Every structure is written in C-alpha cells, then in structure tokens.
Structure 1
Amino acid sequence: MKTPLIRSKKLSDLNSCNIWLKMESAQVTGSFKERSIGQVCQKYAQQGAKKFISSSGGNAGISVAYMGNMLKIPVTVVVPKTTSQQAIDLMQQENAEVIVHGDSWVDANDLALSFVNSEAIYIHPFDHPYLWEGVAKIIDEVIEDGVQPDAVILSVGGGSLLSGISQGLKNHGLDVPIYAVETQGTASLNTAMKAKQHIQLDQVTGIATTLAAKQVCANAFHISQSEHVVGLTVSDQEALSACFNFLDDHRTLVEPACGATLSVLYDQKIDFEPTANVLVIVCGGASIGLQKLLQFVEDLAV
C-alpha cells in the first residue's frame, strides 16, 4: 500500500536540510518487504503457483506468509535459529508453516530450495527482478507527493531495497547519490565495494539480524560499482541508539536494521546542502519489540 511521506522537523533541523521519511514501517506487515514480496507473489499467483516456499530472517518471511494467506496459497518458510520468536509467531498467525533450520540464512535457504518443485514456487527474499519492481514504486509515490530527492539513504541486507530504489530513480531520470548503510557486523556490500569484488563474508554478527546476508545479490553489487552509491557502516550501539531516538521523536518502533540508516542522521555523518531534499527509507521491521530492544541494551553494555 502507499505509505506516508513525512518531513521530519527534528532530523531536518539536526542536519540543516530537508529530511523526508518514507514510512515503510506503516505497511501492514511492518516493512518495505510487503512491496517486494507482494509483487513477486502476485506475479507467480497469476502464473498458477500452488504453493510458496521461502527462506527468511524475518521480514520477508512475514510478508510471504501474509501474501500467501491473502491469495489463499499455502506457504512454507524456513528460518535460521537467529530468527526472533516474534517473527515466527507473525508468520504462523498468517497460517504459514515455519521450519527453523541452521545457524544462518544460507543454511535455511539451502533447505528451502530442496522443497521447490513445479508447483511449489520459490520466493527469494531479495534477489529477483519482480522484487525490485515492487520496491521501485516507492520512488513513484515520492514524486507523486511532490518531492524530488537529491539523495537517498537506506539500509542494505541482501540488496533488494537498493536494487529497487535504484530502478525507481532511473525510471524518473534521477541520478542522485544513494547512501547504503550497514552495521559493522553485516557489511557484506561495503566489504565488497572496498574489494571491488562480489565477495561473501565468512560470517555475519550483531543485533541487526535482518541485514545478515553474507553476500548481497549480484544486482546490488553491480549498482554499487556502476552508480553513485556511498557505503557507510555504523556500530550496533549507534543503530540501537537511533531506534530509541526515533521512537521518542516519531512514535514509531523500528528494528536495528532500520536504526542503522537513521543513525547516520542522528549522528550527523553526512553533510548536505541546506536546500537538499534527502529521502530516508524507514524500512521498518516487524520482528522486534520494545522488550527486545531493551535486552539489546543490556547485552551491549556487558
């Protein structure tokens, strides 16, 4: 669904420019994944899919479960052990079968692929053109609402958000910098950008579990090498602090994966022109609660 576009007075004043928040946290499933997953599920439903198979660390699985329930198509989601119980509960509430397997998304994904057949269609959480088409509509809505961005700030996990926003900007003939933010423990894109190779991390660590892809999709890496992408990394503490600041300032609870993006504004890590319109994708996250954030505070203080 179309989400609100809000000018943040607090963040605009703090960064001496116009900060526009695209509130993807307002999606029914709590994250931008509803756009990407919604697009691909509808496409495959039109092609006769009888079942959806997916793997996820949280948000993508919740959206596949939601879309399957809406389309009356059975869903199986394989999640790694790092997935929160809240995320699993949300998938099951949408009548999805949830299988917990492996220590990382890669392990979960390998099992999910073994279930795929001619009628049970695999829904990749971040690597498919249908997904990017869905995300690109974010830029359509921003333009419709009268804002032409001079820069975009977003978080990167597997790369579908970066891929879709890049496509949306191209659709409108916009060539503006995209600031791609990761936590230090999940920096698969930033590491690949520095190496100039599409490499895979040995491991991913930290509290931003929904960013925990060891390797971004090839399309996201290509974009990072051929377009104006600026890579940034933040600490878990910075991401977590931004979650609490955003809750105070905008009455919206987001997960650390989204806090990573917001932290570069709260900590004023980028300089913008005073007239700049900076679009921030508040990607949201349904697999987090206040108690979990408070637990992170305790854990990081040890």
Structure 2
Amino acid sequence: MAEYFHVNTPLLESMSMSKLVGTTVYLKMENSQPTGSFKIRGIGHLCQKLAKESTGVVCSSGGNAGMAAAYAARKMGIPATIIIPSSTPPLVVKRLKDQGATVKCIGKVWDDANAEALRLAETEGLTYVPPFDHPLLWLQGHASLIAEVAASLGSGVKPGAVLVAVGGGGLLCGVIQGLKDVGWTDVPVVAMETVGADCFNAAVKAGKLVTLDDITSEAKCLGAKTVCKKAFEYSQCSEVTIISELVTDQQALSAIEAFLDEERVLVEMACGAALAAVYSGLIQRLQGEGRLPTLLGPLLVIVCGGSSIDMEQLSNLKHKLHN
C-alpha cells in the first residue's frame, strides 16, 4: 500500500467568520500539514510516482513547494536541491536546510529559479518536481483535500461555495478535480489573488494565457507570472463555475491579522488572499451582484497555510503595508 506523506487535516467551523458572512464557514486547515501547506499532497504523490529510482529531485520554489519536495525526498532517502528566487525570506532557507535540502538562490522571481531547475534536471539527471503544473499534483494529490471534506461533512451536506487562493493554479486544479470526483460540480469556486500576483485573473479577463511583466505583490507565494494551462481551461469551460476576484495586499494582510486574533493561527499572504474574501466583505458583494446565492450554503475556505511566515516576517509586512 502506498505510504502518504500528507495527513488528513481538520475541518473546523469558525464562529466569528460564520457571523460575518451569515452562513456556516468551514476551514480546511491545510496549515497543519507536516510541511505547513497543502503542497505536500500533490508533491508527495508526484515524488512517489516519479522519483522512486531517482538520484535526487530538483524543485523551483519560493517556499511551500520546495518544503514539500525536500520533506518527501528526506522521507524517501534521496537528495533534494531547491532553487529559490531572491525574494524568498531567510526563514524559508533555514527550514529547507533543516529538511536536509541543498538550497540555491537564482534570479528575482520564481520563473528565473524554474529555468535553473529545468537546466539542472537536464544536466545532472535529477527528477524535476514542478511546483504547480503537472496532472499528478492535482488528479490524486491536491484533489484528496475535497474527498476529505466530503467525508467530514457526511452525506447530504455540501458547500455553497469554495474559497481558494490561486498562485500557479495547482491547488485550484486540485479543488476542481476533487469537486468532480465527489459530484459537486455545481459548487462555485471563488478564486482569490492579490493585485500584483494576478496571473489567473489577467488570463480570465484576456480570454487567453497572459504572462505578467513582474510580481509586485507581497504575496510572493502567489508569484507565478503565468497560470498553468489547465487552470485557465477550467475557467473557460461550462462544467464548473469559477469566480475570479482580487484583493489588495493590505486586505490580505488585514485578513492574516484577523485570522491570527480569532483562530490563533498564523498563515502567509497567499492564504490571506482567500481569507480576505470573508473579512473584506467580498462574499456579500458577490451575493449582492447575484454571482453567489443570497441564501448561501456552508462556505468552505481552504486554509492553504504557508511556511514563509513568522512574527518577524509579519511585522515586516505590517511596516511595509500599513505605512
């Protein structure tokens, strides 16, 4: 039987968030994964499928995917090389090294680091672990998250909507695959990004894949310049409803602070983008516009977590964004 590297995470009801939106809010606590984020689901699965006989893995990541690849490699007893962009906080570098990974810093954004990871895979015969753009990541990996929610809620209960943050689109693809697997394709997905790390929203608006000039948001973990093709394809098809929305960095940060106060959990900016849909009143706006039903069933929030935040990082963000 396959050994899973991820755990079945808690599904918690948030009383304070439920009061804000006027319907039950369930939090899928992916921050409690052994690597601090949902990424271990897909990356753990992919490593077991592709890297069993490998001389080592290489992954390009500003944080969470790298943590997952390093963790999976350590569990499998193979070396991991993680290529990070210069925007990666020092605490992530330390955590990657604690997992036994070799860390190399290349370029300013994820796309630069990824080019180097692909080169190393080619020249050194390492197994390339893509952070978000591979079917193995979402078909069974990230999709398992929705299967767990369905099991926790029990028969006859399904969400009125799912709130999810979008970076490269791997989690979004997993959520949609999971909704298809459990027969919830009529459940709308609200896909959240921050202004300045909005490659999915830009693609939805343009009707084609768009590459951003730069990542200007502080939500560095949402920092892919181009969303994966599959996520864009889902946005164009009629089998699922995806509502693409943006919040500011300030709104994401305020959401992190409110979440820390109310739920006693610290998450990173990428996750704050999803939480901000509740805290900033965006859900009510969507109801007012008729894009979500007025009588909304339970709201499922994917708390994707994040390993690139600590109190020092939080106070840096407050200093940058609240001034």
TM-score bracket for the superposition, by shorter chain length? over 0.9
- Of the three residues 171, 175, 178, the one matched with 1:165 is 175
- Of the three residues 134, 138, 141, the one matched with 2:148 is 141
- Of the three residues 114, 123, 126, the one matched with 1:120 is 126
On the 8 A contact 1:126/1:217 being kept in 2, the answer is: yes
Letter in 2 for 1:155: A
2:165 aligns with: 155
On the 8 A contact 1:17/1:273 being kept in 2, the answer is: no
Instruction: Specify the SS of the correspondent of 2:51.
Output: helix
On the 8 A contact 1:19/1:279 being kept in 2, the answer is: yes
Structure 2 residue 27 is the aligned partner of structure 1 residue 17: no
Identity of matched residues, %: 43
1-structure distance, mates of 2:148, 2:249: 31
Structure 2 residue 13 is the aligned partner of structure 1 residue 7: yes
1-structure distance, mates of 2:314, 2:190: 25
Q: Which has the larger displacement, 220-229 or 233-242?
A: 220-229
2:3 aligns with: none
Instruction: Specify the SS of the correspondent of 1:115.
Output: helix
On the 8 A contact 1:18/1:274 being kept in 2, the answer is: no
1:68-121 deviations in Å (ceiling 9; x for gaps): 111101000110000111111111111100000101111111111111148411
Displacement of 1:45 in angstroms is 3.2
On the 8 A contact 2:51/2:57 being kept in 1, the answer is: no
Q: TM-score, normalised by structure 2?
A: 0.91
Q: TM-score, normalised by structure 1?
A: 0.97
On the 8 A contact 2:27/2:303 being kept in 1, the answer is: yes
Letter in 2 for 1:88: V
1:299 aligns with: 320
1-structure distance, mates of 2:169, 2:62: 14
2:307 aligns with: 286
State the Cα RMSD in Å.
Answer: 1.2
1:105 aligns with: 110
Displacement of 1:228 in angstroms is 0.8
On the 8 A contact 2:220/2:270 being kept in 1, the answer is: yes
1:186 aligns with: 197
User: Structure 2: where are the runs of 5+ without partners?
Assistant: 1-6, 288-292
Letter in 2 for 1:7: E
2-structure distance, mates of 1:275, 1:239: 23
On the 8 A contact 1:56/1:125 being kept in 2, the answer is: yes
How many residues end up aligned between the 2 structures?
301
Displacement of 1:150 in angstroms is 2.1
Letter in 2 for 1:169: L
Displacement of 1:275 in angstroms is 5.3
Q: Which has the larger displacement, 269-278 or 292-301?
A: 269-278
Structure 2 residue 92 is the aligned partner of structure 1 residue 76: no
Displacement of 1:22 in angstroms is 0.2
2:225 aligns with: 214
Letter in 2 for 1:109: N
- Of the three residues 29, 34, 57, the one matched with 1:28 is 34
1:206-251 deviations in Å (ceiling 9; x for gaps): 2100000000100011011113100110000000000010001111
1:86 aligns with: 91
Letter in 2 for 1:19: V
1:198 aligns with: 209
The structure-2 alpha-carbon separation of the partners of 1:18 and 1:273, relative to structure 1 and needing over 3 Å to count, comes to farther
Displacement of 1:274 in angstroms is 4.2
- Of the three residues 298, 305, 314, the one matched with 1:277 is 298
- Of the three residues 37, 53, 63, the one matched with 2:68 is 63
On the 8 A contact 1:153/1:280 being kept in 2, the answer is: yes
The ranges of structure 1 where at least 4 consecutive aligned residues each deviate by more than 2 angstroms after the TM superposition are 271-275
The structure-2 alpha-carbon separation of the partners of 1:275 and 1:216, relative to structure 1 and needing over 3 Å to count, comes to closer
2-structure distance, mates of 1:16, 1:300: 29
Displacement of 1:156 in angstroms is 0.2
2-structure distance, mates of 1:187, 1:240: 16
On the 8 A contact 2:133/2:170 being kept in 1, the answer is: yes
Instruction: Specify the SS of the correspondent of 1:186.
Output: coil
User: Structure 1: where are the runs of 5+ without partners?
Assistant: none
Displacement of 1:34 in angstroms is 1.1
Displacement of 1:172 in angstroms is 1.3
2-structure distance, mates of 1:296, 1:21: 24
